[in-house]
Amino acid sequence: DAKTTQPPSMDCAEGRAANLPCNHSTISGNEYVYWYRQIHSQGPQYIIHGLKNNETNEMASLIITEDRKSSTLILPHATLRDTAVYYCIVRVGDDKIIFGKGTRLHILP
Amino acid sequence: DTGVSQDPRHKITKRGQNVTFRCDPISEHNRLYWYRQTLGQGPEFLTYFQNEAQLEKSRLLSDRFSAERPKGSFSTLEIQRTEQGDSAMYLCASSVLAGFEQYFGPGTRLTVT
């Protein structure tokens, strides 16, 4: 079973920051937090991952709480192309991915 | 394009027929994964290879399913005696050995009538 809990859906206005929460209260010390997204009819796409520290790349920022029991993915300026299902995953670095149902993010024009 | 490719993109077959899908990973990626995704669900892990060795198989992979990666490059997934419950998107992903990111292909959508 997936080790994460995410809201089933969220809305965000175009141009605003999209903040997607994830709970992973049973995360182990050697497990990373990963985010993938899946745009309709495409394969999942890697976004970002982190262990303890906050991370940022060209796509998004990942904020992990100090106790590592939850995290937030931030898309700083959401566009219509960001409409997708976003999966929060915890896993050891090179292990298989166990997906949950994710959060369906709707970007509203 | 140097991403993961899958062939065919769509397959319609009648119940009881055999089907085979192909996945070409990113060049020099040692690991290759197969996942299955049904409507409204996240992808489910099926199996993975490290080079030509099949290292793990999910209990979802019944004896009607077989996967190979004969030369450590492309992989095939065969389903024998297809059933309507096999209708799904079959996704392939690859990664470098002990790498963090898995790169997914576009998937093969199977419809069993």
Question: B23-75: per-residue pLDDT in tens?
Answer: 999 998 999 999 999 998 999 999 999 999 999 899 888 899 999 999 889 99
Kindly state the percentage of chain B with pLDDT values over 70.
97
Nearest to B79 by CA among B91, B92, B63, B94: B63
Q: What tokens were used for A25?
A: 């209260």
Question: A46-66: per-residue pLDDT in tens?
Answer: 999 999 989 999 999 999 999
CA distance B34 to A97: 11
Of B48, B95, B105, the CB nearest to A43: B105
**Contact (CB<8Å) B42/A101:** yes
The DSSP output letter for A5 is B
CA distance B86 to B73: 25
At residue B96 the predicted structure's pLDDT band, cuts being 50, 70 and 90, is confident
At residue A105 the predicted structure's pLDDT band, cuts being 50, 70 and 90, is very high
Task: Tell me what pLDDT residue A8 has.
Answer: 97
Task: Tell me what pLDDT residue A1 has.
Answer: 54
Shortest Cα distance, chain A CAs vs residue B26, angstroms = 14
At residue B97 the predicted structure's pLDDT band, cuts being 50, 70 and 90, is confident
Q: Is the dihedral of CA B33, B102, A96, A82 positive or negative?
A: negative
B99 touches chain A (CB under 8 A): yes
User: CA A29 → CA A21, A51, A69, A95, B32, distances in Å?
Assistant: 20, 9, 11, 15, 26
Shortest Cα distance, chain A CAs vs residue B16, angstroms = 26
Assign B20 to helix, strand or coil.
Answer: strand
Q: How many CB atoms lie within 10 A of CB A40?
A: 7
- Bigger pLDDT: A95 vs A66: A66
Task: Tell me what pLDDT residue A3 has.
Answer: 86
**Contact (CB<8Å) A43/B56:** no
**Contact (CB<8Å) A43/B98:** no
Task: Match 């590592």 to its residue by tokens.
Answer: A68
